[in-house]
Amino acid sequence: MIVMSGQIEVVTEIDRPIEEVFAFLAEGTNDPQFSPRVQRIDKDPAGATTVGTMFRSTAKDAGMTSQREIRITALEAPFKIRWTELSKNTVTTTEGGYDLQLTGDGKTRMRLFNVLEGHGFGKLLVGLAVSASRKDAPAFGRRIKNAIETS
């Protein structure tokens, strides 16, 4: 059976107030601080992130460089950020997001998820991409936590 899509998820607690976590994540251009695959990212339009803001990035996955276009689809400060990928790559994120919760003592619980989907030849690769992403999820959560706590 060929898996044509799959979801990855990570939950971590960040030692920062929810407003700071939301602001850091909503900025979008901070992604290279915790995602080594993102080589460059630009925001359009500049300024505050709103529904419709586009992020265009150059990313390197499995040794291949690709261009990515992500559009913000929902933004509910300071609790929720959602996006979708508009790029036409072999594996894309059809839906992704952050859910933030207060946990007390100035800490924030962050849940990140991405739904990956394969297109064309990517339908054969998406299972591997999901497996690799799930394997990296705990480390990815730690990188996000560290980037926010040291910013």
The number of distinct structural domains making up the chain is 1
Percent of the chain with pLDDT over 90: 79
Q: pTM of the predicted model, to two decimals?
A: 0.92
Residue 54 burial class via C-beta count within 10 angstroms: exposed 0-12, middle 13-18, buried 19 and up: middle
Q: Domain containing 97: what range?
A: 5-149
**Residue 130 per-residue DSSP state:** H
List the one residue out of 37, 69, 33, 40 whose CA is nearest residue 54.
69
pLDDT in tens, 109-135: 999 999 999 888 778 788 888 898 999
Q: In the predicted model, what is the mean pLDDT of residues 81-98? A: 95
CATH code assigned at 124: 3.30.530.20
Q: In the predicted model, what is the mean pLDDT of residues 60-72? A: 91
Cβ of 125: how many Cβ atoms within 10 Å?
Answer: 17
Is-contact 93 81, C-beta < 8 A? no
Residues 6+ apart with CB under 8 A from 128: none
For residue 14, give the H/E element and its range: strand 5-14
**pLDDT averaged over the chain?**
93
Reported confidence tier of residue 1, pLDDT bands at 50, 70, 90: very low
